[in-house]
């Protein structure tokens, strides 16, 4: 009676109906048909793969939009360059009018060169996310001629003066450091004295007469019978900074060279400099001097060995004058492989400046050269060509972005068909199994009552 097969089947039906109802409830509450691999392992794998594709497409759209934005920034700079070149072209025509004196033409030349300086400023400052757009400093193409230069620095002299001092000693008797010299070290009874400043009130300083004065804890404490020794050493000729000679025989305005020094010396680096001390065959380490990126170096003389009181410095360096600069080319990936990309070619506008000033020296009529050789017109053509390429690429990028968005929508729809729950179907399943579950419980109760009554009748008999 206890293991009645009918009752067991009833309860099994109830459990099955409740399991299906729970599964339908889970899908309805999450909105997802495949909540775990047991629901549909193949569908889950396909969905995860599509998720990866959708995420990649979204990033690809962001990449393309970055490219479009970069193109806008570059085109804004080129538009300003174009405006300046148009004005220069107008000035060149004006300069050809016979009514202008030499002084008047010099005024026109001044405005022309101010326009070129403005162009150089735009080239050097146009950037997107700190990436230079119109300039390519590292893209110098060598003229094929390596120039070696050697500079001998005037002998650096180290002078030392010793004075016995004591408390109350007249200021006039303190040692001095001559004008144009650099103090190396001050010793008081053999102990190094630091330089006193606003942050450190103890040490030495130079007064208005360049005399060494002591203050704070280092003030003189000796007596006439037992004086203290004050030793001051200094470079008798100031060695810094040292200027490197790059044979800058060019009429490019100084302001343009300040903005774009690589125009004349290419990709010159600190590693191209070799500094030899006191006829040594081994150059000093790169950490012993600094380079300003153009033509100035500062040497750390404090740690160099002197021969007596002097030191000899020889500087060798190699550089290539650039003939031109490689164009800037920026890639924006639209897929997982290296070939899936869109390229934005902007150009390197150092070439524009080089072309404008090529062959122009102090004895050349610049206005006549720019006009007769149509250099400004060629520069304007270069700018217009670059703007056209950027515009065409931006148009292509916009189409790529649209295609990516459409593809993204299609993949999202495919994922939805795999993963999303069918609410009508799941509601029908839930309702059906809830009814079956309730019916099962009702039948189970009736079976229970029936068996109980049969048992009681048997006991009575």
pLDDT per residue over 147-190, tens digit each?
A: 788 887 767 788 888 899 988 888 888 998 888 788 888 999 99
pLDDT per residue over 379-429, tens digit each?
A: 999 999 999 999 999 999 999 888 888 888 888 777 777 766 656 666 776
SS3 276: strand
Which conformational region is residue 155 in: left (phi greater than 0), alpha (psi within -120 to 50 degrees), or beta? beta
Cα 163 from Cα 253, distance rounded (Å):
51
SS3 329: strand
pLDDT per residue over 347-384, tens digit each?
A: 899 999 988 988 787 666 888 888 888 999 999 999 99
- Using H for helix, E for strand and C for coil, what is the string for 151-209? EEEEEEEEEEEEEEECCCCCHHHCCECCCCCEEEEEEECCEECCECCCCCCCEEEECCC
Number of H-type helices and E-type strands within the chain = 9, 15
Pairing of strands 140-165, 310-325: antiparallel
DSSP designation for 288: G
Residue pair 442/448 in contact by the 8 Å Cβ criterion: no
Length of the chain (residues): 461
CA 252-254-257 angle, to 5 degrees, is 75
> pTM score, two decimals?
0.65
Residue pair 340/326 in contact by the 8 Å Cβ criterion: no
Strand-pair partners of 164: 229
Residue 79's pLDDT is 95
Q: Please report, in tens digits, the pLDDT of each residue of the chain (461 residues total).
A: 445 665 666 667 667 766 666 666 666 666 666 666 666 677 667 777 878 788 888 888 898 999 999 999 999 999 999 999 999 999 999 888 878 788 888 888 899 999 999 999 999 999 999 899 999 887 777 776 677 888 877 677 888 888 999 888 888 889 988 887 888 889 999 999 998 876 768 899 998 888 999 988 898 888 888 999 999 988 877 667 888 887 666 678 888 888 888 887 877 889 999 988 887 888 988 988 899 888 888 888 776 766 667 778 888 988 888 888 888 899 988 876 667 888 899 989 999 998 898 878 766 688 888 888 899 999 999 999 999 999 999 999 999 888 888 888 888 777 777 766 656 666 776 677 677 667 766 766 766 666 556 555 666 65
- Using H for helix, E for strand and C for coil, what is the string for 381-427? HHHHHHHHHHHHHHHHHHHHHHHHHHHHHHHHHHHHHHHECCHHHHH
Structural domains of the chain, ranges and CATH numbers in brackets: 57-136+327-408 (1.20.1330.10), 144-325 (no CATH)
Residue 1's pLDDT is 44
Q: Under 8 Å CB-to-CB from 217, ≥6 apart: which residues?
A: 202
């Amino acid at each position: 009676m206890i293991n009645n097969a009918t009752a067991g089947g009833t309860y099994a039906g109830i459990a099955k109906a409740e399991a299906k109802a729970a599964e339908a409830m889970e899908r309805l509450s999450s909105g997802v048909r495949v909540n775990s691999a047991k629901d549909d392992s193949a569908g889950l794998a396909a969905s995860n793969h599509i998720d990866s594709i959708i995420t990649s497409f979204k990033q690809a759209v962001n990449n393309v939009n970055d490219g479009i934005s970069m193109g806008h920034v570059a085109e804004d700079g080129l538009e300003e360059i174009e405006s300046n070149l148009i004005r220069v072209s107008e000035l060149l025509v004006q300069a050809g009018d016979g009514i202008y004196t030499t002084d008047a033409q010099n005024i026109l030349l001044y405005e022309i060169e101010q326009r070129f300086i403005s162009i150089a400023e735009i080239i050097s400052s146009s950037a997107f996310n700190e990436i230079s757009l119109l300039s390519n400093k590292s893209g110098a193409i060598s003229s094929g001629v390596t120039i070696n230069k050697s500079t001998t620095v005037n002998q650096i002299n180290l002078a030392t003066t010793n004075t016995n001092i004591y408390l109350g000693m007249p200021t006039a008797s303190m040692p001095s450091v001559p004008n144009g010299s650099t103090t190396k070290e001050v010793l008081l009874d053999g102990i190094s004295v630091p330089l006193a400043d606003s942050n450190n009130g103890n040490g030495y300083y130079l007064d208005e007469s360049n005399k060494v004065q002591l203050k704070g804890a280092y003030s003189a404490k000796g007596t006439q019978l037992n004086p203290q020794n004050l030793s001051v050493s200094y470079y008798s000729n100031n060695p810094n900074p040292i200027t490197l000679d790059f044979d800058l025989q060019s009429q490019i305005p100084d302001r343009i060279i300040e903005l774009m020094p690589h125009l004349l010396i290419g990709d010159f680096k600190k590693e191209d400099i070799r500094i030899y001390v006191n006829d040594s065959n081994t150059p000093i380490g790169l950490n012993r001097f600094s380079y300003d990126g153009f033509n100035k170096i500062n040497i750390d003389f404090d740690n160099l060995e002197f021969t007596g009181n002097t030191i000899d410095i020889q500087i060798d360096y190699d550089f290539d004058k650039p003939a031109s600069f490689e164009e800037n080319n920026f890639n924006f990936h639209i897929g997982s492989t290296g070939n899936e990309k869109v390229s934005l070619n902007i150009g390197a506008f150092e070439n524009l400046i080089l072309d404008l000033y090529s062959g122009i020296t102090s004895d050349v009529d610049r206005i006549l050269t720019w006009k007769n050789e149509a250099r400004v017109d060629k520069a304007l053509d270069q700018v217009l060509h670059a703007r056209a390429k950027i515009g065409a690429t931006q148009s292509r990028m916009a189409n790529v972005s649209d295609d990516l968005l459409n593809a993204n929508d299609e993949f999202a729809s495919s994922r939805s068909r795999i993963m999303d729950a069918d609410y009508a179907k799941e509601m029908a399943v839930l309702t059906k199994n809830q009814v079956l579950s309730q019916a099962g419980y009702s039948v189970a109760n009736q079976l229970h009552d029936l068996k109980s009554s049969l048992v009681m009748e048997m006991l009575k008999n």
